[in-house]
Amino acid sequence: MGVELKRARLNPQYLHGKDFLTLADYTQEEITYLLQLADQLKTQRKNGIAEQPLKGKTLGMIFEKSSTRTRVSFEAGIYQLGGNGIFLSSKDIQIGRGESISDTAQVLSGYLDAIMIRTFSQTAVEELAEKASIPVINGLTDLYHPCQVLADLQTIKEQKGTLDGVKVSYIGDGNNMAHSLMLGAAIMGMHLSVAAPKGYQPDQKIVAKAKKLAALSEADIQITDNPELSVKESDVIYTDVWASMGQEEEQVKREIAFKDFQVHSNLLQLAKSDAIFMHCLPAHRGEEVTADVIDGNHSVIFQQAENRLHVQKALLVALMES
């Protein structure tokens, strides 16, 4: 079955031209559709089927933060869909020399069919989307990482067969990953426990937003500073680096604050026997996770990383296909 037949049956035409700035802007139906389309595109790629629904389309990719997975998956994804991707380093375009976001958005809207941006400020992404007349995709900000969580949801569903009622325990910094995981879990009817040290817990406004969404889907969002309590009966154990990009000066301070929040085999044993381990990568073995866990039988980190390609292709098709 081709992409177009699948899309016609699910009738997701309302996604065309929509921005993807945070998961909170999408409904459970819309996210479910994206995951179904990602599954289909993944199956097609495995079977050597190469449909090109975005032939002639161009994606601009603005990077203020360096990347491995985001750049390669988006660039490969748009190419596999028949389109073209243009890498735009902030050092190489005028936005890096003081041109306003508004001017940049309006100029690029005349050249491109969509923009993906990976940067620091969520406000900058929102302004770009407000001024652009084409879809804007949040490839990562300091506040959110929605594309990663789409891949996480696809991976969990592949491993567990469902998202409904699955319990995820996130151990570590209450950062952009924690924020987007909370929103994704809340929308999709999952249970999420975030265990972070005091002073490093998620933004309270985002916690409140997630809990409000959770009330609609019978999900459960909990915040604690007790990793052992968090992981009990969990289906998924998730962690991230202790010092994200731009926080390198805090490395030593954070190592002290997070010393009791390492994911190790003894902690993993408190979860369900078939629990999976996830990490958005890059990982620092021996810091946030021990090597025996991340390289062990419970780990699905490379399946998770590959799924960035498939969910982002689904996102590009949904937002860009005419």
Question: Which residues fall in the annotated binding site?
Answer: 67-70, 94, 118, 145-148, 176, 240, 244-245, 280-281, 308
Residue count of the chain, please give it: 322
240 catalytic? Reply is yes
Confirm whether 269 is a catalytic residue: no
Annotated catalytic residue, options 80, 154, 240, 304: 240
Does the annotation mark 71 as catalytic?
no
**Would you call 280 a catalytic residue per the annotation?**
yes
Q: Which of 148, 154, 262, 304 is catalytic?
A: 148
Residue 203 annotated among the catalytic residues of the structure: no
Phi, psi of 116 (to 5 degrees): -110, 135
**Residue 192 CB partners (closer than 8 Å, separation 6+):** 167, 168, 169, 170, 181, 182, 185, 186, 210, 219, 220, 221, 222
Q: Extract long-range pairs of 2-6: CB within 8 Å, 24+ residues apart.
A: 2/51, 3/37, 3/40, 3/41, 3/44, 3/51, 3/53, 3/317, 4/53, 6/36, 6/37, 6/40
Q: 239 with 275: CB under 8 angstroms?
A: no
> Catalytic one among 113, 308, 310, 312?
308
- Which pair of structure tokens corresponds to residue 197? 């040290």
Catalytic residue among 7, 80, 235, 280: 280
Radius of gyration from C-alpha coordinates of the chain: 19
Question: Looking at 19, 39, 122, 145, which residue is catalytic?
Answer: 145
Secondary structure letter of residue 110 according to DSSP: T
Enter the DSSP assignment of 250: G
| Crossing angle (nearest 10°) for helices 28-46 and 3-10 | 160
Task: Please report, in range form, the residues annotated as the binding site for carbamoyl phosphate.
Answer: 67-70, 94, 118, 145-148, 280-281, 308
Out of 7, 118, 179, 279, which one is annotated catalytic?
118
Per the annotation, binding residues for L-ornithine are 176, 240, 244-245
118 catalytic, yes or no? Answer: yes
Compute the distance between CA of residue 120 and CA of residue 131 in angstroms, rounded to an integer.
18
Q: Which residues are catalytic?
A: 118, 145, 148, 240, 280, 308
